[in-house]
Structure 1
Amino acid sequence: MVVSTKKHQWLQLIALLTVIGAGILSYHLGLLSSVAQLQAFIRQAGLLGPMLFILLQVVQVIFPIIPGGLTTIAAVTIFGAKLGFLYNYVGISLGSVAAFLLVRHFGPRFLRGFVPEKTFNKYQHYLNGGKKFDRFFALAILLPVAPDDILCMLAGLTKMSLKKFSAIIILCKPWTILAYSLGMSTLLQVTLQHL
Protein backbone atom coordinates (compact mmCIF):
# COMPACT_ATOMS: atom_id res chain seq x y z
CA MET A 1 0.00 0.00 0.00
CA VAL A 2 1.41 3.36 -1.04
CA VAL A 3 0.77 6.23 1.36
CA SER A 4 -0.06 9.53 -0.33
CA THR A 5 2.17 12.53 0.34
CA LYS A 6 -0.58 14.30 2.30
CA LYS A 7 -1.24 11.22 4.47
CA HIS A 8 2.50 10.77 4.95
CA GLN A 9 2.82 14.37 6.17
CA TRP A 10 -0.08 13.86 8.59
CA LEU A 11 1.52 10.67 9.92
CA GLN A 12 4.80 12.54 10.43
CA LEU A 13 2.98 15.34 12.26
CA ILE A 14 1.12 12.87 14.48
CA ALA A 15 4.38 11.04 15.31
CA LEU A 16 6.11 14.34 16.12
CA LEU A 17 3.22 15.51 18.33
CA THR A 18 3.20 12.13 20.11
CA VAL A 19 6.91 12.41 20.88
CA ILE A 20 6.50 16.03 22.05
CA GLY A 21 3.54 15.03 24.21
CA ALA A 22 5.48 12.14 25.76
CA GLY A 23 8.35 14.48 26.56
CA ILE A 24 6.09 17.09 28.17
CA LEU A 25 4.19 14.45 30.14
CA SER A 26 7.44 12.87 31.36
CA TYR A 27 8.67 16.26 32.50
CA HIS A 28 5.44 17.16 34.31
CA LEU A 29 5.26 13.77 36.02
CA GLY A 30 8.74 14.40 37.38
CA LEU A 31 10.14 11.32 35.67
CA LEU A 32 13.16 13.21 34.47
CA SER A 33 14.23 14.66 37.79
CA SER A 34 15.60 11.48 39.36
CA VAL A 35 16.44 7.89 38.55
CA ALA A 36 14.29 6.71 41.48
CA GLN A 37 11.12 8.35 40.12
CA LEU A 38 11.75 6.98 36.65
CA GLN A 39 12.36 3.49 38.08
CA ALA A 40 9.12 3.57 40.06
CA PHE A 41 7.11 4.66 37.03
CA ILE A 42 8.59 2.03 34.69
CA ARG A 43 8.15 -0.76 37.26
CA GLN A 44 4.50 0.20 37.80
CA ALA A 45 3.90 -0.07 34.04
CA GLY A 46 4.52 -3.84 34.16
CA LEU A 47 4.81 -5.39 30.70
CA LEU A 48 4.52 -1.97 29.05
CA GLY A 49 7.57 -0.77 30.98
CA PRO A 50 10.17 -1.67 28.33
CA MET A 51 8.10 -0.04 25.56
CA LEU A 52 7.61 3.11 27.63
CA PHE A 53 11.31 3.22 28.41
CA ILE A 54 12.26 2.85 24.73
CA LEU A 55 9.84 5.69 23.88
CA LEU A 56 11.44 7.80 26.60
CA GLN A 57 14.87 7.16 25.08
CA VAL A 58 13.56 8.22 21.66
CA VAL A 59 12.23 11.43 23.20
CA GLN A 60 15.46 12.22 25.06
CA VAL A 61 17.46 11.97 21.82
CA ILE A 62 15.11 14.23 19.85
CA PHE A 63 14.85 16.74 22.68
CA PRO A 64 18.39 16.93 24.07
CA ILE A 65 17.16 19.01 26.99
CA ILE A 66 16.41 15.72 28.76
CA PRO A 67 19.57 14.31 30.41
CA GLY A 68 20.48 11.17 28.41
CA GLY A 69 22.86 9.99 31.11
CA LEU A 70 19.95 9.78 33.55
CA THR A 71 17.90 7.50 31.31
CA THR A 72 20.90 5.37 30.33
CA ILE A 73 21.74 4.76 33.99
CA ALA A 74 18.08 4.15 34.79
CA ALA A 75 17.88 1.33 32.24
CA VAL A 76 20.65 -0.61 33.97
CA THR A 77 19.14 -0.16 37.42
CA ILE A 78 15.62 -1.05 36.25
CA PHE A 79 16.26 -3.88 33.80
CA GLY A 80 19.81 -5.07 34.59
CA ALA A 81 22.90 -4.79 32.40
CA LYS A 82 21.78 -6.96 29.44
CA LEU A 83 18.20 -5.79 29.01
CA GLY A 84 19.19 -2.25 30.02
CA PHE A 85 21.75 -2.24 27.22
CA LEU A 86 19.21 -3.61 24.72
CA TYR A 87 16.48 -1.09 25.59
CA ASN A 88 18.97 1.78 25.59
CA TYR A 89 20.34 0.68 22.21
CA VAL A 90 16.93 0.33 20.56
CA GLY A 91 15.57 3.60 21.96
CA ILE A 92 18.68 5.67 21.29
CA SER A 93 19.06 4.25 17.77
CA LEU A 94 15.42 4.94 16.89
CA GLY A 95 15.67 8.42 18.42
CA SER A 96 18.87 9.16 16.49
CA VAL A 97 17.25 8.21 13.17
CA ALA A 98 14.13 10.22 14.06
CA ALA A 99 16.22 13.30 14.95
CA PHE A 100 18.15 12.98 11.67
CA LEU A 101 14.92 12.70 9.65
CA LEU A 102 13.20 15.57 11.46
CA VAL A 103 16.07 17.94 10.71
CA ARG A 104 16.31 16.60 7.16
CA HIS A 105 12.59 17.36 6.71
CA PHE A 106 12.22 20.62 8.65
CA GLY A 107 15.73 22.00 8.15
CA PRO A 108 17.79 24.30 10.37
CA ARG A 109 14.67 25.83 11.98
CA PHE A 110 13.99 22.59 13.84
CA LEU A 111 17.62 22.22 14.90
CA ARG A 112 17.95 25.78 16.19
CA GLY A 113 15.04 25.17 18.55
CA PHE A 114 17.22 22.76 20.55
CA VAL A 115 20.81 23.64 19.85
CA PRO A 116 22.40 26.81 21.24
CA GLU A 117 23.82 29.17 18.61
CA LYS A 118 27.33 28.72 20.03
CA THR A 119 27.15 24.92 19.66
CA PHE A 120 25.69 25.17 16.16
CA ASN A 121 28.49 27.51 15.08
CA LYS A 122 31.11 25.23 16.65
CA TYR A 123 30.15 22.31 14.40
CA GLN A 124 28.84 24.17 11.35
CA HIS A 125 32.17 24.11 9.50
CA TYR A 126 31.95 20.30 9.38
CA LEU A 127 28.60 20.32 7.58
CA ASN A 128 29.92 20.92 4.08
CA GLY A 129 32.90 18.62 4.56
CA GLY A 130 31.35 15.60 2.78
CA LYS A 131 33.35 12.51 3.73
CA LYS A 132 35.28 14.55 6.31
CA PHE A 133 32.02 15.08 8.24
CA ASP A 134 31.09 11.41 7.79
CA ARG A 135 34.38 10.29 9.38
CA PHE A 136 34.10 12.88 12.16
CA PHE A 137 30.51 11.81 12.83
CA ALA A 138 31.38 8.08 12.99
CA LEU A 139 34.25 8.74 15.40
CA ALA A 140 32.11 11.05 17.56
CA ILE A 141 29.33 8.45 17.80
CA LEU A 142 31.88 5.78 18.70
CA LEU A 143 33.42 7.81 21.53
CA PRO A 144 31.39 8.68 24.65
CA VAL A 145 32.53 12.31 24.83
CA ALA A 146 30.70 14.01 21.96
CA PRO A 147 27.19 15.51 22.05
CA ASP A 148 25.71 12.65 19.99
CA ASP A 149 22.12 13.93 19.93
CA ILE A 150 23.15 17.28 18.50
CA LEU A 151 25.49 15.66 15.99
CA CYS A 152 22.66 13.40 14.77
CA MET A 153 20.60 16.51 14.10
CA LEU A 154 23.51 18.27 12.39
CA ALA A 155 23.96 15.20 10.17
CA GLY A 156 20.44 15.84 8.90
CA LEU A 157 21.72 19.07 7.34
CA THR A 158 24.47 17.28 5.39
CA LYS A 159 24.30 15.21 2.20
CA MET A 160 24.82 12.00 4.20
CA SER A 161 22.34 9.35 3.12
CA LEU A 162 19.91 7.81 5.60
CA LYS A 163 21.49 4.43 4.83
CA LYS A 164 24.99 5.63 5.77
CA PHE A 165 23.69 7.48 8.85
CA SER A 166 21.82 4.37 10.04
CA ALA A 167 24.87 2.16 9.45
CA ILE A 168 27.05 4.47 11.56
CA ILE A 169 24.48 4.50 14.38
CA ILE A 170 23.97 0.72 14.27
CA LEU A 171 27.69 -0.10 14.17
CA CYS A 172 29.20 2.63 16.37
CA LYS A 173 26.56 3.47 18.97
CA PRO A 174 26.43 0.12 20.82
CA TRP A 175 29.99 0.47 22.09
CA THR A 176 29.30 3.66 24.02
CA ILE A 177 26.04 2.28 25.40
CA LEU A 178 27.78 -0.98 26.33
CA ALA A 179 30.51 0.94 28.15
CA TYR A 180 27.89 2.91 30.12
CA SER A 181 25.81 -0.20 30.83
CA LEU A 182 28.71 -2.35 32.02
CA GLY A 183 30.29 0.52 33.92
CA MET A 184 27.05 1.29 35.72
CA SER A 185 26.34 -2.38 36.40
CA THR A 186 29.81 -2.80 37.93
CA LEU A 187 29.40 0.36 39.99
CA LEU A 188 26.03 -0.83 41.31
CA GLN A 189 27.43 -4.24 42.26
CA VAL A 190 30.42 -2.69 44.08
CA THR A 191 28.14 -0.23 45.89
CA LEU A 192 25.72 -3.00 46.97
CA GLN A 193 28.60 -5.15 48.25
CA HIS A 194 29.79 -2.32 50.49
CA LEU A 195 26.36 -1.63 51.97
Structure 2
Amino acid sequence: MNRFIQLQDKYKKVILLVCTLVVILGTVIGYQQGIFTDQTKMEAFLLSCGIFAPLLFVLIQAVQVVIPILPGAIGCVYGVIFWGAVKGFLLNYIGICIGSIWAFLIARHFGQEFVLQITGSKFFEKYSKYLVKENRFEKIFAILIFLPVAPDDFLCYLAGISKIPLKRFTLIILLGKPLAILLYSMGLNQLFQSMLALIA
Protein backbone atom coordinates (compact mmCIF):
# COMPACT_ATOMS: atom_id res chain seq x y z
CA MET A 1 0.00 0.00 0.00
CA ASN A 2 2.79 2.41 0.94
CA ARG A 3 4.61 1.56 -2.27
CA PHE A 4 1.45 2.30 -4.29
CA ILE A 5 1.12 5.70 -2.58
CA GLN A 6 4.78 6.48 -3.30
CA LEU A 7 4.33 5.59 -6.98
CA GLN A 8 1.18 7.67 -7.13
CA ASP A 9 2.99 10.69 -5.65
CA LYS A 10 5.88 10.15 -8.06
CA TYR A 11 3.54 10.14 -11.08
CA LYS A 12 1.80 13.28 -9.83
CA LYS A 13 5.16 15.04 -9.61
CA VAL A 14 6.14 13.89 -13.10
CA ILE A 15 2.80 15.06 -14.54
CA LEU A 16 3.14 18.42 -12.79
CA LEU A 17 6.70 18.85 -14.07
CA VAL A 18 5.75 17.92 -17.66
CA CYS A 19 2.75 20.27 -17.60
CA THR A 20 4.91 23.07 -16.24
CA LEU A 21 7.51 22.57 -19.00
CA VAL A 22 4.75 22.55 -21.64
CA VAL A 23 3.36 25.80 -20.22
CA ILE A 24 6.82 27.43 -20.27
CA LEU A 25 7.45 26.31 -23.85
CA GLY A 26 4.00 27.43 -24.99
CA THR A 27 4.45 30.77 -23.25
CA VAL A 28 7.81 31.40 -24.91
CA ILE A 29 6.36 30.61 -28.35
CA GLY A 30 3.22 32.67 -27.68
CA TYR A 31 5.28 35.58 -26.40
CA GLN A 32 7.56 35.53 -29.44
CA GLN A 33 4.55 35.54 -31.74
CA GLY A 34 2.88 38.35 -29.78
CA ILE A 35 -0.17 36.33 -28.72
CA PHE A 36 0.23 37.32 -25.06
CA THR A 37 1.27 40.93 -25.65
CA ASP A 38 -0.77 42.11 -28.63
CA GLN A 39 -4.57 42.07 -28.49
CA THR A 40 -4.90 42.07 -32.30
CA LYS A 41 -2.63 39.05 -32.64
CA MET A 42 -4.45 37.25 -29.83
CA GLU A 43 -7.76 37.91 -31.57
CA ALA A 44 -6.41 36.66 -34.91
CA PHE A 45 -5.03 33.55 -33.21
CA LEU A 46 -8.34 32.77 -31.49
CA LEU A 47 -10.35 33.36 -34.67
CA SER A 48 -8.11 30.93 -36.52
CA CYS A 49 -8.83 28.25 -33.89
CA GLY A 50 -12.57 28.05 -34.69
CA ILE A 51 -14.53 25.93 -32.22
CA PHE A 52 -11.40 25.42 -30.09
CA ALA A 53 -11.03 29.17 -29.43
CA PRO A 54 -12.83 29.13 -26.03
CA LEU A 55 -10.66 26.23 -24.83
CA LEU A 56 -7.48 27.99 -25.92
CA PHE A 57 -8.58 31.24 -24.31
CA VAL A 58 -9.10 29.38 -21.03
CA LEU A 59 -5.58 27.97 -21.42
CA ILE A 60 -4.17 31.45 -22.13
CA GLN A 61 -5.84 32.82 -19.00
CA ALA A 62 -4.46 29.92 -16.95
CA VAL A 63 -0.96 30.47 -18.33
CA GLN A 64 -1.09 34.19 -17.51
CA VAL A 65 -1.62 33.27 -13.86
CA VAL A 66 1.21 30.73 -13.79
CA ILE A 67 3.60 32.95 -15.76
CA PRO A 68 2.39 36.55 -15.29
CA ILE A 69 3.02 38.42 -18.54
CA LEU A 70 0.02 40.72 -18.79
CA PRO A 71 -2.18 42.03 -15.95
CA GLY A 72 -5.11 39.63 -15.50
CA ALA A 73 -7.53 42.51 -16.01
CA ILE A 74 -6.59 42.77 -19.69
CA GLY A 75 -7.52 39.16 -20.35
CA CYS A 76 -10.76 39.56 -18.42
CA VAL A 77 -11.83 42.55 -20.49
CA TYR A 78 -10.84 40.83 -23.72
CA GLY A 79 -12.91 37.75 -22.82
CA VAL A 80 -16.02 39.91 -22.32
CA ILE A 81 -15.42 41.90 -25.52
CA PHE A 82 -14.81 38.78 -27.59
CA TRP A 83 -17.55 36.46 -26.18
CA GLY A 84 -19.97 38.75 -24.42
CA ALA A 85 -20.73 39.31 -20.74
CA VAL A 86 -21.88 35.86 -19.62
CA LYS A 87 -19.68 33.55 -21.70
CA GLY A 88 -16.69 35.86 -21.34
CA PHE A 89 -17.08 35.89 -17.56
CA LEU A 90 -17.34 32.08 -17.41
CA LEU A 91 -14.26 31.54 -19.60
CA ASN A 92 -12.27 34.05 -17.54
CA TYR A 93 -13.41 32.40 -14.32
CA ILE A 94 -12.52 28.87 -15.44
CA GLY A 95 -9.12 29.87 -16.83
CA ILE A 96 -8.08 31.96 -13.85
CA CYS A 97 -9.19 29.30 -11.34
CA ILE A 98 -7.24 26.61 -13.19
CA GLY A 99 -4.17 28.84 -13.34
CA SER A 100 -4.45 29.71 -9.64
CA ILE A 101 -4.59 26.06 -8.59
CA TRP A 102 -1.75 25.28 -10.99
CA ALA A 103 0.44 28.02 -9.45
CA PHE A 104 -0.36 26.68 -5.98
CA LEU A 105 0.70 23.14 -6.95
CA ILE A 106 3.90 24.34 -8.62
CA ALA A 107 4.86 26.31 -5.51
CA ARG A 108 4.06 23.37 -3.25
CA HIS A 109 6.30 21.13 -5.36
CA PHE A 110 9.29 23.44 -5.91
CA GLY A 111 9.31 25.22 -2.53
CA GLN A 112 10.22 28.56 -1.03
CA GLU A 113 13.32 29.42 -3.07
CA PHE A 114 11.39 28.97 -6.30
CA VAL A 115 8.53 31.14 -5.04
CA LEU A 116 11.02 33.84 -4.01
CA GLN A 117 12.41 33.88 -7.55
CA ILE A 118 8.92 34.11 -9.06
CA THR A 119 7.44 36.77 -6.77
CA GLY A 120 10.55 38.83 -6.09
CA SER A 121 12.05 39.69 -2.72
CA LYS A 122 9.93 42.82 -2.14
CA PHE A 123 6.62 40.97 -2.40
CA PHE A 124 7.94 37.93 -0.54
CA GLU A 125 9.18 39.98 2.41
CA LYS A 126 5.89 41.89 2.58
CA TYR A 127 3.61 38.84 2.79
CA SER A 128 5.77 35.90 3.94
CA LYS A 129 5.73 37.13 7.55
CA TYR A 130 2.09 36.01 7.73
CA LEU A 131 3.09 32.42 6.92
CA VAL A 132 4.27 31.91 10.49
CA LYS A 133 0.69 31.96 11.75
CA GLU A 134 -1.27 29.54 9.58
CA ASN A 135 -4.78 30.80 10.40
CA ARG A 136 -3.77 34.43 9.98
CA PHE A 137 -2.33 33.88 6.51
CA GLU A 138 -5.38 31.91 5.43
CA LYS A 139 -7.72 34.71 6.52
CA ILE A 140 -5.60 37.39 4.84
CA PHE A 141 -5.36 35.30 1.67
CA ALA A 142 -9.13 34.75 1.58
CA ILE A 143 -9.82 38.47 1.98
CA LEU A 144 -7.28 39.54 -0.64
CA ILE A 145 -8.59 37.05 -3.20
CA PHE A 146 -11.96 38.83 -3.05
CA LEU A 147 -10.33 42.16 -3.92
CA PRO A 148 -9.78 43.01 -7.60
CA VAL A 149 -6.61 45.01 -6.88
CA ALA A 150 -4.74 42.26 -4.99
CA PRO A 151 -1.66 40.57 -6.55
CA ASP A 152 -3.58 37.28 -6.93
CA ASP A 153 -1.01 35.40 -9.01
CA PHE A 154 1.81 35.88 -6.52
CA LEU A 155 -0.49 35.20 -3.58
CA CYS A 156 -1.35 31.79 -5.08
CA TYR A 157 2.36 30.96 -5.23
CA LEU A 158 2.80 32.10 -1.65
CA ALA A 159 -0.19 30.01 -0.57
CA GLY A 160 1.55 27.00 -2.09
CA ILE A 161 4.31 27.16 0.52
CA SER A 162 1.86 27.80 3.36
CA LYS A 163 0.04 25.12 5.33
CA ILE A 164 -3.28 25.68 3.57
CA PRO A 165 -4.60 22.32 2.31
CA LEU A 166 -5.27 22.10 -1.44
CA LYS A 167 -9.02 21.55 -0.90
CA ARG A 168 -9.36 24.65 1.26
CA PHE A 169 -7.27 26.72 -1.14
CA THR A 170 -9.44 25.57 -4.06
CA LEU A 171 -12.60 26.48 -2.16
CA ILE A 172 -11.27 29.98 -1.43
CA ILE A 173 -10.37 30.45 -5.10
CA LEU A 174 -13.71 29.18 -6.39
CA LEU A 175 -15.68 31.40 -4.00
CA GLY A 176 -13.39 34.42 -4.03
CA LYS A 177 -12.58 34.85 -7.70
CA PRO A 178 -16.03 35.57 -9.20
CA LEU A 179 -16.39 39.03 -7.63
CA ALA A 180 -12.94 40.24 -8.68
CA ILE A 181 -13.33 38.84 -12.20
CA LEU A 182 -16.79 40.37 -12.51
CA LEU A 183 -15.53 43.79 -11.44
CA TYR A 184 -12.58 43.56 -13.82
CA SER A 185 -14.64 42.26 -16.73
CA MET A 186 -17.61 44.59 -16.47
CA GLY A 187 -15.90 47.66 -15.03
CA LEU A 188 -13.01 47.84 -17.47
CA ASN A 189 -15.23 46.80 -20.36
CA GLN A 190 -17.50 49.76 -19.57
CA LEU A 191 -14.44 52.01 -19.53
CA PHE A 192 -13.32 50.56 -22.86
CA GLN A 193 -16.74 51.18 -24.42
CA SER A 194 -16.77 54.75 -23.08
CA MET A 195 -13.36 55.41 -24.64
CA LEU A 196 -14.59 54.05 -27.98
CA ALA A 197 -17.65 56.30 -27.78
CA LEU A 198 -15.46 59.36 -27.16
CA ILE A 199 -13.18 58.47 -30.08
CA ALA A 200 -16.18 57.95 -32.37
The answer to whether TM tops 0.5 is yes
Q: Using the alignment, how far apart are the partners of 2:71 and 2:196 within structure 1?
A: 25
Residue 35 of structure 1, CA deviation: 1.9
TM-score (norm 1): 0.91
What does residue 37 of structure 2 align with?
33
The alpha-carbon distance between structure 1 residues 5 and 171, as it changes in their structure 2 partners (threshold 3 A), is closer
Residue 69 of structure 1, CA deviation: 2.3
What does residue 130 of structure 2 align with?
126
C-alpha contact 1:43 1:78 (8 A) present in aligned 2: no
The alpha-carbon distance between structure 1 residues 160 and 4, as it changes in their structure 2 partners (threshold 3 A), is closer
2:99 matched to 1:107?
no
What does residue 173 of structure 2 align with?
169
Residue 66 of structure 1, CA deviation: 3.4
For structure 2, the 5+ residue unaligned runs are none
Q: Using the alignment, how far apart are the partners of 1:148 and 1:38 within structure 2?
A: 23
- Residues 43-85 of structure 1: CA distance to partner in whole angstroms, max 9, x if unpaired? 2211111111111111110112333222222211211111111
2:51 matched to 1:47?
yes
The residue matched to 2:118 in structure 1 has which SS? coil
What does residue 11 of structure 2 align with?
7
For structure 1, the 5+ residue unaligned runs are none
2:55 matched to 1:67?
no
C-alpha contact 2:145 2:173 (8 A) present in aligned 1: yes
Residue 177 of structure 1, CA deviation: 0.3
Root mean square deviation of aligned Cα: 1.9
Aligned-pair identity in percent equals: 42
The alpha-carbon distance between structure 1 residues 65 and 117, as it changes in their structure 2 partners (threshold 3 A), is farther
More helix by share: 2
Q: Using the alignment, how far apart are the partners of 2:90 and 2:146 within structure 1?
A: 17
Residue 189 of structure 1, CA deviation: 4.2
The residue matched to 1:145 in structure 2 has which SS? coil
Q: Using the alignment, how far apart are the partners of 2:26 and 2:144 within structure 1?
A: 28
